[in-house]
Amino acid sequence: MRRTKATYPTKPRLMGNFRIQIVARIFLLILTLTTLIWLSFSTALYATIVILSLLSIGQIWALIHFVEQTNRHLVRFLESVKYGDTVNMSNGARLGASFTELTEAFSAVVQDFERIRREKEEQYLALQTILHHVSIGLLSFDAEGNVDFINPAARHILGITNIYSLKNLGKEYQPLTEALTKSADHDIILVKLVINDEILQLALGKTYFRQRSKELTLVSLQNIVSELEEQEIVAWQKLIRVLTHEIMNSIAPITSLAQTVSGLLADDFPDDAAEQSELITDIRHATETIARRSEGLLAFVENFRKLSRIPEPDFGVVKLHELFARIELLFGAQCAEKGIVVERSVEPQTLEIIGDAALLEQVFINLVQNAIHALIAKPTSAPKKIILLARQSPTGRMTIDVQDTGTGILPEALDKIFVPFFTTKPDGSGIGLSFARQVLRKHGATMTVSSELEKGTTFHIRF
């Protein structure tokens, strides 16, 4: 338990004993000197005068030694505190009984400092043990790139035994060193490395702290190759399920009708004109159905081709109020016919983004088209409104919302609306939202959705 001020010896008693000794020594010295002076002027006792002179000198030396010994005791105590040494402070008896309490106080303070130092060492060792056993790689370095700490997990991830400076890393680590020196505080960035023919996908997080009056950078490293591969497998499985479902839906009736036609043609051709006409009509209907389903399958494959071949953006300055104005102009007549009100707001009015104007316009066309479909499905008397809202946050990030007061999206469908070819509309292709999200990813933006049945849906785009 930490010693409180009340548990230390009280000051009045300690200082009282000290003053008594000082006063007594000075009083005896004055008495000796007075006697010496009186004998020098009034008597011829030279031996006595010499003895008193030596006695006064001895008293002066003893007084000085007494005070200096106290100072040495204080210096010894302060040095023990400064260097964190545990020293024996139990020799207070040499200073007299009045300093016993002072010695005890010194010993108590030194013991407290020793306890605090020991606790800090234990905490440091515990922290070192934790850092050396966590599975996340940790690396810290100073402004010159000198490595201050690297744990075994980071060594294992990077495939190095030890490192003293980031400058010593080879060329294969250049993307990592560039990311460490350029990425902003708290940003999570992905870095791809190829080390000894092994591909590493690293997720880096960076922050700053001070230690020993030095500014240090702390970096966390995680190899997320397995997670990415797992997500990629899941994505491929979802896509394959969609593709096989759509293809089988088209192939099954085509196969069945083809077998029917083959069976009709395998029979002997009837002689009766009516039967011939009926047979030809059946074959015609079957072939027309086969043609329609084949065209549908071709359209599906074409949509997939478009989805997998999104062009790279041609970046430029895009003024959001002009982009919203073009969208409103495109759908103005259709919205007026359906009784839909379109509102747009850009704050500030001069808000701009860097992107491909044509691709971004197609994104908003898809979103507004979906909003119109949702509003058409509502009763005529219900208010129908589409809101295009762009604003800038205090941190500089831009958010664009596309809101509608339509029927909303079923909760079970919210997690699937961005899956390619998933659609809730009978005549939908299911590629609009997937296309929009891929375009936004190429612009470094994200898109999420929130919806409430019978109240509306909002798509949130964040740059």
CATH label of the domain that carries residue 218: 3.30.450.20
Same structural domain, 438 and 329: yes
The answer on pLDDT for 12 being more than 50 is no
Residues 320 and 451 occupy one common structural domain: yes
Total count of domains within the chain: 4
The tens digit of pLDDT for each residue in 83-105 reads 655 555 555 444 455 556 666 77
Q: Are residues 43 and 141 located together in one domain of the fold?
A: no
Q: Say how many C-beta atoms besides its own lie within 10 A of residue 265's C-beta.
A: 10
On the question of pLDDT at 14 being above 50, the answer is no
Report pLDDT digits (tens) over 129-183.
888 888 888 888 888 888 888 888 888 888 887 788 888 787 778 888 888 777 6
Residues 432 and 321 both lie in one domain:
yes
Clarify whether residues 97 and 162 are in a common domain: no
Structure tokens that stand for 173 in this block: 């680590």
> What confidence score (pLDDT) does residue 40 get?
83
Q: pLDDT at position 3, please?
A: 46
| 3-class DSSP assignment, residue 225 | helix
Pair (170, 139) in one structural domain: yes
Confidence of residue 388 (pLDDT cuts 50, 70, 90): very high
What CATH number should be reported for the domain holding residue 346?
3.30.565.10
Query: What confidence score (pLDDT) does residue 407 get?
Result: 86
Residue 245 has pLDDT above 80, yes or no: no
For residues 361-368, give the mean pLDDT. Answer: 89
Q: Over the stretch 44-70, which tens digit does the pLDDT of each residue have?
A: 787 888 888 888 888 888 888 777 776
DSSP string, 41-65: HH---HHHHHHHHHHHHHHHHHHHH
Q: Tell me whether the omega of the peptide bond preceding residue 420 falls within 30 degrees of 0, making it cis.
A: no
- Percent of the chain predicted with pLDDT > 90: 9
Last residue of a domain, one of 307, 336, 364: 307
Model confidence at 264, pLDDT cuts 50, 70, 90, reads low
**Residue 129 falls inside a structural domain:** no
Neighbouring residues of 297: CB distance < 8 A, sequence distance ≥ 6 = 246, 247, 250, 251, 254
Residues 328 and 451 in one domain: yes
Give percent above pLDDT 70 in the chain.
73
- Is residue 423 located within the same domain as residue 346? yes
- Report CA-CA distances (Å) from 421 to 398, 416, 428, 429, 447: 29, 10, 8, 6, 18
The chain-wide mean pLDDT, for the chain, equals 77
Both 243 and 263 in a single domain?
yes
Q: State the residue for tokens 């065209």.
A: 295
CA distances from 389 to 9, 80, 406 (A): 72, 68, 17
Domain that holds residue 360: 316-462
- Res 119: pLDDT: 87
Q: If you write DSSP's letter for every residue of 330-348 in order, what string do you get?
A: HHHHHHHHHT-EEEEEEES
258 domain residue, yes or no: yes
Residue 458 confidence class, pLDDT cut points 50, 70, 90: very high
Over residues 276-309, the pLDDT tens digits come to 677 777 777 777 777 776 776 776 666 666 656 6
pLDDT attached to residue 146? 87
Tens digits of residue pLDDT in 407-438: 888 887 877 777 766 666 656 556 778 778 88
In a domain, 20, yes or no: yes
Residue 183: predicted pLDDT: 62
Do 11 and 89 reside in the same domain of the chain?
yes
Q: At what angle do helices 225-266 and 273-307 cross, to 10 degrees?
A: 170
> What pLDDT does 346 receive?
93
Output the pLDDT for position 344: 92
Q: Domain boundary at 223, 250, 284, which?
A: 223
pLDDT at position 7 over 50? no
- pLDDT at 8 (0 to 100): 44
Last residue of a domain, one of 307, 327, 352: 307
Same domain (yes/no): 147, 244: no
pLDDT at 2 over 60: no
Domain identity same for 53 and 166: no
Q: Is residue 50 part of a domain?
A: yes
The yes-or-no verdict on residue 343 having pLDDT over 90 is: yes
